[in-house]
Amino acid sequence: EPEVTQTPSHQVTQMGQEVILRCVPISNHLYFYWYRQILGQKVEFLVSFYNNEISEKSEIFDDQFSVERPDGSNFTLKIRSTKLEDSAMYFCASSTRGTQYFGPGTRLTVL
């Protein structure tokens, strides 16, 4: 069964550094999403992406964040200058008809 994959599973970085989180959505899906989950808290929407552009973003998704679909398969989330409060689990999801399928997540630790 097709699934969403994410790499790396765990990323450790220094505050102020740039990180790129990678996702490979399910191949026939058209909508792509990033969510984050700070430890012990609920899952929060960051951004949705459709037809090669952002369709919606939350207030969390400020100028430090960007998304890209550089080729036909990958979907990336870049954080330009990480802050301590960016430490969280980041989930990628994709969908075609409502139900979103989530990847296993990338645990980002900012030191």
Partner 1 sequence: AQTVTQSQPEMSVQEAETVTLSCTYDTSENNYYLFWYKQPPSRQMILVIRQEAYKQQNATENRFSVNFQKAAKSFSLKISDSQLGDTAMYFCAFMKVDYGQNFVFGPGTRLSVLP
Closer Cβ to partner 1, 20 or 30, answer by number: 30
Is 65 a binder of partner 1 (CB under 8 A)?
A: no
Query: Mask 45-64, x = binds partner 1 (CB under 8 A)?
Result: x--x-x----xx-x------
Say if strands 10-13 and 106-110 run parallel, antiparallel, or are unpaired.
parallel
How far apart, in whole angstroms, are the C-alpha atoms of residue 85 and residue 31? 27
**b/e burial code for range 38-69 (CB count within 10 A of at least 16 → b):** eeeeeebebbbbeeeeeeebeeebeeebebeb
Closer Cβ to partner 1, 58 or 64, answer by number: 58
Asked if the peptide bond before residue 2 counts as cis, ω within 30 degrees of 0, the response is: no
Is 99 a binder of partner 1 (CB under 8 A)?
A: yes
Given the rule CB under 8 A, which residues bind partner 1? Answer: 30-31, 33, 35, 37, 41-45, 48, 50, 55-56, 58, 89, 91, 93, 95-102, 104-105, 107
